[in-house]
Amino acid sequence: MAMLSMGTAAAAGGVELNAQVFQQVEVKNADGSITLKAEPANSVVPGSEVTYVVTYRNTGATAADAVKIDNPVPADLVYVASAGDRAVDAVSVDGGTQYGVLAGLTVVGQDGQSRPAQAADVTHLRWVLGRLVAGAEGTVSFVARVK
């Protein structure tokens, strides 16, 4: 079993962020059928997938401009894919120094040769929200696998 640590997402201005990690749990219904339920991922088994959800809200009295959320992928997770209604706008494979589309990024492999970056190389995610009026809120999320 592994305990998940929360990465710290960052956003500018009066935008507050709250991150939570969920896992899908099978629940047996009275009729014998099985449904999936999202529950907080307090303790998970390596290899299982979790959904990392960042809730944002502009708590300021005025609009926040050029809002973006930069979220590191926690060290105990490997990025799999975007989740929810809003796709990741850009990723970083170098610790958050540069962002771009995954297909356009490269990394240096263990052999010292440059190769195309893969989802497992992602260290940070970026969502570009733009202008958030006072009180605006929403969520962004991604799926990751526990190392």
pTM of the model: 0.83
Share of the chain above pLDDT 70, in %: 91
Residues 60-66: contacts with CB within 8 Å, 24+ apart? 60/13, 60/14, 60/15, 60/134, 61/14, 61/134, 62/14, 62/134, 63/131, 63/132, 63/133, 63/134, 64/12, 64/13, 64/14, 64/15, 64/131, 64/132, 65/13, 65/130, 65/131, 66/12, 66/130, 66/131
Q: What is the mean pLDDT of the chain?
A: 88
- Residue 12, pLDDT score: 57
Across the range 3-15, mean pLDDT stands at 55
The answer to whether the CB of 19 falls within 8 A of the CB of 74 is no
Strands (E), 1-147: 15-28, 34-40, 49-58, 64-72, 77-83, 90-92, 106-108, 114-116, 124-132, 137-146
Domain 15-146 has CATH 1.10.10: no
Burial readout 39-56 (b: 16 or more C-beta within 10 A, e: otherwise): eebeebeeeebbbbbbeb
What are the extents of the domains in the chain?
A: 15-146
Across the range 39-61, mean pLDDT stands at 91
- Residue 38, pLDDT score: 86
How far is Cα 91 from Cα 81, in angstroms, rounded to an integer?
Answer: 11
- Residue 13, pLDDT score: 62
The model's confidence at residue 139, banded by pLDDT at 50, 70 and 90, is very high
- Residue 10, pLDDT score: 54
